Amino acid sequence: MRPVSARTTRFPEHRLAWLVAIAADAIQIAGLPLFIEGVLSPVDTLLDVVVAVILTRLLGWHWAFLPGLVSELIPGLDLFPTWTGAVFYVTSRRVLQDRAPK
């Protein structure tokens, strides 16, 4: 049986993905009055696409990113931190897989 380590091989990528997701969600929540179907709405969409690309590059493709991207593109759902939730799901699954005996 392999010893359980608190750090995984992708731990730096996990931290950076968390930082990107939390920052994107904070920008969207704080900037909600600016992003609601106004002049900056395309900027909000661009932010979501860029975040999706960055998270996919950091963590690899995962199906959890697709609902996150779709829900971020629907006006009003930016109030829920979908990127943070998606990163939580993906990183927790990866840590559990790394800890599982092989």
Predicted confidence at residue 96, as pLDDT, reads: 81
Q: How much is the mean pLDDT over the chain?
A: 80
Is residue 55 within 8 Å of residue 83, measured between CB atoms?
Answer: yes
Predicted confidence at residue 11, as pLDDT, reads: 81
CB atoms within 10 A of CB 17: 25
Euclidean distance between CA atoms 94 and 41, whole angstroms? 34
Mean pLDDT of 48-67: 91
Query: Binning pLDDT at 50, 70 and 90, where does residue 79 land?
Result: confident
Q: 15: number of CA atoms within 13 Å, CB side? A: 5
